[in-house]
């Protein structure tokens, strides 16, 4: 893959400021280029297919996150072509199947062929996750804000919004209106769609978490927060670019319903930490109290733009999830941080560590996390999915470019804010 000149110059500018941090410098350069060098494939229609890494498919969520750190340079023609090429392919996939989370490069039926119902040939996996529809809108919005390019919005946005609104509105009444079903014969317990009862809350249902594990309860709080944020993005783009006030207003109404549902049903009182956000709820008074390592997460609330890190409920929630009261918070001889039921017990995710730093206002905490990141990648210069808290040479997914991209974003944030 050709590296645009502006990216080479950009990396050099930041590397010059990392001369006293040679380990971080090497990691930053490798991680910044990771998606460009290893994951992007130009397709015949001039869109870009983005490998998630060591799985031969394109996730809507991952592919957006993998290129986010390039968006500030999208005023450049070469970078703009890449970003827009990824977005156009994402929006094409949404029209093919808005319930799918991962897709093939061509309609070759690659992927989970045993799933029921049978997947469209384009679909690699059809685990419905609210955030899969959020991420393409977020990257489109950021691209518009940085590049000023409105053509893709004028051409593609209205059809995409109508599709997303239909799904999210139907999933507010999952058992009454949804046609979605999923079954994986011989799958693990994490592949089994919950059939637990739900009450109407205003929030929209999600079958699976961003980790691709099934939800215990149908309303996944962080994903609904993300949906509320991107509904605001959609409304703004529809109003300012498409001049479609009617559709924009539909987004605002749904945003309000979801937000009200979060405030009324997703907040619970923890005996030690006070009012916190639950990871999941059913609207019937049942909750899952933990935070997953993937994003969106409760930890990422300020990052996705739902609330500031000064919000009292967020601060309480953060204290909870960064403590042993969170059943997936692990402490080991090499590191401590958040793991996931998706990966082995005692394994910490690089994504969660990076997100902890990105949402912190404590310079000492951020520097400590940078040190942890630099000492837990097995000298590869790349991030992984998860690693053993006692032995970082044991890890999952050696090729996973999303945390690479987020690490590059963190390093630039630290330099820009004079933390390193």
At residue 292 the predicted structure's pLDDT band, cuts being 50, 70 and 90, is confident
Phi and psi of 396, rounded to 5°? -110, 145
Segment 147-154 shows an average pLDDT of 97
**Predicted local confidence at residue 242, as pLDDT:** 98
Shared domain for 228 and 112, answered yes or no, is yes
Same domain as 84, residue 31: no
pLDDT tens digit string along 114-129?
999 999 999 999 999 9
Domain termination residue (choose one: 270, 296, 323): 323
Whether residue 341 is found in the same domain as residue 388: yes
Please check whether residues 242 and 342 belong to one and the same domain: no
Residues with Cβ within 8 Å of 70's Cβ and at least 6 positions away in sequence, in order, are 7, 35, 36, 79, 82, 83
- Given 279, 299, 323, which residue is the final one in a domain? 323
Pairing verdict, β 287-288 and 267-270: unpaired
CATH at residue 276 = 1.50.10.10
**Average confidence (pLDDT) over 3-16:** 98
Confidence of residue 412 (pLDDT cuts 50, 70, 90): very high
Predicted TM-score (pTM) of the model is 0.98
Residues 12 and 128 in one domain: no
| Whether 222 and 109 share a structural domain | yes
Q: Are residues 153 and 252 in the same domain?
A: yes
Q: Are residues 7 and 57 in the same domain?
A: no
The Cα–Cα gap between 325 and 45 comes to: 50
> Own/partner pairs for 135-138, CB < 8 Å, 24+ apart?
135/60, 135/61, 135/63, 135/64, 135/65, 135/90, 136/60, 136/64, 136/87, 136/90, 136/91, 136/94, 136/160, 137/164, 137/230, 137/233, 137/234, 138/64, 138/226, 138/229, 138/230, 138/233, 138/304
Q: Using pLDDT thresholds of 50, 70 and 90, give the confidence band for residue 352.
A: very high
What range defines the domain where residue 306 resides? 45-323
Cα–Cα dist 264/283, whole Å: 9
> 349 and 409 share a domain?
yes
**Percent of the chain residues past pLDDT 70, beyond the cut:** 100
Q: Are residues 143 and 16 in the same domain?
A: no
Provide mean pLDDT across the span 201-213. Answer: 98
Q: Residues 231, 91: one domain?
A: yes
| Domain end residue (candidates: 266, 288, 323) | 323
Residue 143 shares a structural domain with residue 175? yes
The model's confidence at residue 1, banded by pLDDT at 50, 70 and 90, is confident
Q: Count up the domains in the chain and report the number.
A: 2
| Digit-coded pLDDT (tens) for 238-287 | 999 999 999 999 999 999 999 999 999 999 999 999 999 999 999 999 99
Angle between helices 130-147 and 158-170 (to 10 degrees): 150
């Amino acid at each position: 893959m050709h590296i645009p000149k502006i990216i080479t110059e950009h990396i050099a500018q930041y590397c010059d400021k990392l001369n006293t941090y040679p380990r971080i410098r090497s990691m930053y350069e490798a991680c910044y280029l990771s998606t460009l060098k290893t994951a992007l494939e130009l397709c015949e229609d001039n869109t870009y297919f983005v490998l998630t890494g060591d799985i031969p498919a394109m996730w809507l969520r991952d592919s957006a996150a993998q290129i986010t750190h390039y968006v500030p340079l999208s005023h450049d023609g070469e970078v703009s072509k890449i970003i827009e090429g990824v977005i156009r392919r994402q929006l094409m996939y949404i029209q093919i199947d808005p319930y799918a989370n991962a897709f093939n490069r061509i309609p070759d039926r690659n992927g989970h062929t045993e799933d029921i119902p049978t997947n469209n040939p384009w679909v690699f996996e059809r685990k419905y996750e609210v955030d899969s529809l959020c991420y393409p809108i977020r990257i489109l919005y950021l691209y518009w804000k940085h590049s000023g390019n409105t053509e893709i919005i004028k051409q593609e946005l209205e059809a995409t919004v109508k599709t997303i609104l239909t799904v999210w509105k139907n999933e507010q009444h999952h058992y009454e209106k949804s046609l979605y079903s999923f079954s994986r014969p011989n799958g693990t317990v994490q592949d089994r769609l919950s059939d637990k009862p739900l009450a109407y809350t205003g929030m929209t249902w999600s079958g699976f978490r961003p980790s691709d594990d099934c939800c215990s309860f149908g309303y996944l709080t962080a994903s609904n927060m993300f949906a509320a944020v991107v509904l605001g993005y959609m409304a703004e783009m529809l109003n300012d670019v498409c001049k479609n006030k009617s559709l924009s207003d539909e987004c605002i109404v749904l945003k309000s319903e979801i937000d009200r549902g979060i405030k009324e049903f997703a907040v619970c009182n923890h005996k030690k930490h006070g009012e916190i956000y639950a990871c999941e709820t059913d609207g019937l008074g049942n909750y899952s109290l933990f935070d997953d390592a993937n994003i969106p997460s409760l930890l990422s609330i300020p990052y996705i733009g739902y609330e500031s890190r000064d919000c009292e409920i967020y601060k309480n929630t953060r204290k909870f999830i960064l403590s042993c009261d969170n059943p997936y918070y692990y402490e080991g001889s090499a590191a401590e941080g958040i793991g996931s039921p998706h990966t082995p017990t005692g394994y910490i995710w690089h994504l969660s560590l990076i997100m902890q730093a990105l949402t912190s206002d404590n310079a000492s905490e951020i520097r400590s996390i940078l040190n942890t990141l630099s000492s837990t990648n097995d000298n590869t210069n790349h991030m992984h999915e998860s690693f053993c808290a006692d032995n970082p040479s044991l890890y999952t997914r050696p090729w996973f470019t999303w945390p690479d991209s987020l690490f590059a974003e963190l390093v630039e944030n630290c330099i820009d804010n004079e933390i390193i």
